């Protein structure tokens, strides 16, 4: 019993620590405001201050029909404006506990205004204004802050628009670089036909498909998938392609069964120094020999599918190896793959396999197999398009979608 009591106490303490940590974390719902530079944030706060300051003349008109002294109205305007600015500060720079404190403070907001007005009137011995004079002042106190807030909001929107336009241009440039780095791949050797295509989920993606002809008639075809998507994954993808092509310059001099393992070893050594710790890459590589031989190496990649033309059947090839750039793996391994004329090899990234329909069912390997079985003898570009169409009709694309197809001639 004492042990259970202690365990229960520890669990309550752990839960309390999690709750405290949650309160200390920044609010994520309005994360956009955290990216706004201070200079533009000040303009936004000034606009919000002016907009909400109209509660001063509003209360003056509603409560005592415009008879509050000028200084009392201004005090309510300042309090209301400061209260609204505190919300902007909390959303842009604060933590969750500040949100609850501000929410609780709103209960006392009306009392604070009343106390401030009474203090100002009693301290400075102010008299109530005539109704006509007070209403005239309240109308102006309504109009001027609204006009000023409008001008400030326009300034803020213009500055944000300039920044958005600049970012859009940079993303368009990055998209152009993406198309240069990952164009549709088409290669034909004496024994094999290779086709690959990639569609990023955003303007820049982290998937890579490539094919390199070697001296002597062999070729290397590979597909890589950087964890995540977007600009960060796209930059690492470009680094990986450069490193892979550099390492393959001497691939023709190496025994076919060692080409891909050595390539994976080198990439796994290079990547950790040029990436964030949480990022990694999956990889599927094929060495296609001029004599019809095939050697492959996989690094945490989806299964390599093979359609056998002799019996119109499909088989999977999987190998449980670590991804690239995550852990210091001592050595990657590769294997030979037996193929015959007419056989088809297919690799698709998670962006296709993990597409989900509305009930949450994944497209998966079985969905891919169905399309391959029905269209295995089609031209490779047509087959790739049918796979993409099938996945997209199954569910919405949330990740980069890439396909590598190899047919034995």
How is 160-229 classified by DSSP, letter by letter? HHHHHHHHHHHHHHHHHHHHHHSPPEEEE-SSEEEEEEEE-SSSS--EEEEEEEPTTS-EEEEEEEESS-
Range name among 41-45, 163-167, 219-223, 379-383 with the lowest pLDDT average:
163-167
As given in the structure block, the two tokens for residue 62 are 């509603």
**The predicted structure's pLDDT at residue 31:** 60
Mark whether 203 and 167 lie in a shared domain.
no
φ, ψ at 197 (rounded to 5°): -150, 150
Q: What's the pLDDT tens digit per position in 324-355?
A: 988 888 889 999 999 999 999 999 999 999 99
Say whether pLDDT at 34 is over 80.
Answer: no
Q: Which of residues 211 and 15 earns the better pLDDT score?
A: 211
**The predicted structure's pLDDT at residue 209:** 95
Q: CA-to-CA distance for 149 and 135, rounded, in angstroms?
A: 21
Q: What is the mean pLDDT of residues 80-88?
A: 89
**The predicted structure's pLDDT at residue 7:** 43
Place of tokens 């062999």: 218
Mark whether 92 and 138 lie in a shared domain.
yes
Average confidence score pLDDT of the chain: 86
Mark whether 209 and 252 lie in a shared domain.
yes
What is the percent of the chain with per-residue pLDDT over 70, rounded to a whole number? Answer: 89
Mark whether 60 and 104 lie in a shared domain.
yes
Mark whether 141 and 251 lie in a shared domain.
no
Range name among 24-33, 134-143, 174-183, 327-336 with the lowest pLDDT average:
24-33
Q: Are 265 and 328 in contact (CB under 8 A)?
A: no
Q: What is the mean pLDDT of residues 99-104?
A: 75
Q: Which of residues 33 and 274 earns the better pLDDT score?
A: 274
**Single residue among 120, 150, 174 that ends a domain in this structure:** 174
Mark whether 117 and 16 lie in a shared domain.
yes
Mark whether 8 and 97 lie in a shared domain.
yes
Residue 272 domain boundaries: 183-408
Mark whether 123 and 234 lie in a shared domain.
no
Domain count, the chain: 2
Contacts of 210 (CB under 8 A, 6+ apart): 182, 185, 196, 221, 222, 223, 241, 244, 245
Q: What is the mean pLDDT of residues 292-313?
A: 94
**30 band by pLDDT with thresholds 50, 70 and 90:** low
pTM of the entire predicted model: 0.68
Which of 22-36, 42-56, 59-73, 318-332 has maximum average pLDDT?
A: 42-56
Mark whether 203 and 282 lie in a shared domain.
yes
Mark whether 146 and 281 lie in a shared domain.
no
**The predicted structure's pLDDT at residue 99:** 72
**The predicted structure's pLDDT at residue 96:** 67
Mark whether 92 and 204 lie in a shared domain.
no
Q: What is the mean pLDDT of residues 3-8?
A: 42
Say whether pLDDT at 1 is over 60.
Answer: no
**Single residue among 174, 203, 221 that ends a domain in this structure:** 174
As given in the structure block, the two tokens for residue 361 are 């069912």
Say whether pLDDT at 46 is over 70.
Answer: yes
**Single residue among 174, 202, 231 that ends a domain in this structure:** 174
CATH assignment at residue 254: 3.60.40.10
Mark whether 117 and 134 lie in a shared domain.
yes
């Amino acid at each position: 019993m004492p042990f259970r009591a202690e365990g229960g106490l520890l669990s309550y303490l752990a839960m309390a620590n999690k709750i405290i940590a949650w309160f200390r974390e920044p609010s994520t719902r309005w994360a956009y405001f955290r990216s706004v530079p201070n200079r533009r944030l000040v303009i936004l706060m000034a606009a919000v201050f002016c907009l909400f300051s109209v509660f001063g003349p509003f209360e003056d008109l509603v409560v005592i029909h415009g008879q509050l002294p000028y200084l009392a109205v201004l005090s309510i305007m300042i309090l209301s404006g400061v209260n609204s600015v505190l919300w902007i500060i909390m959303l842009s720079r604060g933590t969750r506990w500040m949100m609850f404190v501000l929410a609780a403070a709103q209960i006392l907001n009306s009392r604070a205004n009343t106390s401030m007005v009474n203090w100002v009137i009693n301290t400075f011995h102010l008299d109530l204004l005539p109704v006509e004079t007070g209403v005239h002042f309240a109308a102006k106190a309504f109009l001027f802050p609204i006009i000023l807030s409008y001008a400030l909001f326009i300034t803020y929107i213009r500055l944000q628009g300039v920044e958005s336009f600049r970012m859009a241009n940079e993303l368009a440039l990055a998209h152009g670089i993406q198309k240069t780095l990952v164009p549709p791949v088409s290669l034909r050797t004496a024994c094999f036909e290779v086709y690959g295509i990639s569609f990023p989920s955003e303007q820049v993606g982290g998937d890579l498909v490539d094919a390199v002809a070697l001296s002597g008639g062999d070729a290397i075809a590979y597909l890589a998938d950087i964890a995540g998507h977007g600009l960060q994954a796209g930059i690492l993808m470009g680094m990986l392609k450069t490193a892979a092509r550099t390492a393959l310059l001497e691939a023709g001099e190496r025994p076919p069964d060692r080409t891909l393992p050595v390539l994976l070893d080198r990439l796994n050594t290079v990547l950790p120094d040029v990436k964030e710790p949480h990022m990694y890459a999956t990889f599927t590589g094929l060495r296609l020999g001029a004599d019809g031989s095939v050697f492959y190496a996989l690094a945490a990649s989806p299964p390599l599918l093979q359609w056998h033309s002799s019996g119109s059947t499909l088989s999977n090839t999987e190998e449980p190896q670590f991804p690239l750039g995550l852990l210091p793996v001592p050595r990657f391994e590769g294997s030979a793959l037996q193929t015959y004329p007419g056989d088809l090899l297919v690799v698709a990234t998670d962006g296709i396999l993990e597409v989900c329909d509305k009930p949450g069912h994944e497209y998966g390997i079985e969905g891919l197999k169905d399309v391959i079985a029905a269209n295995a003898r089609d031209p490779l570009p047509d087959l790739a398009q049918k796979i993409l169409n099938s996945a997209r009709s199954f569910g919405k694309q949330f990740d980069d979608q890439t396909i590598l197809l190899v047919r034995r001639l």
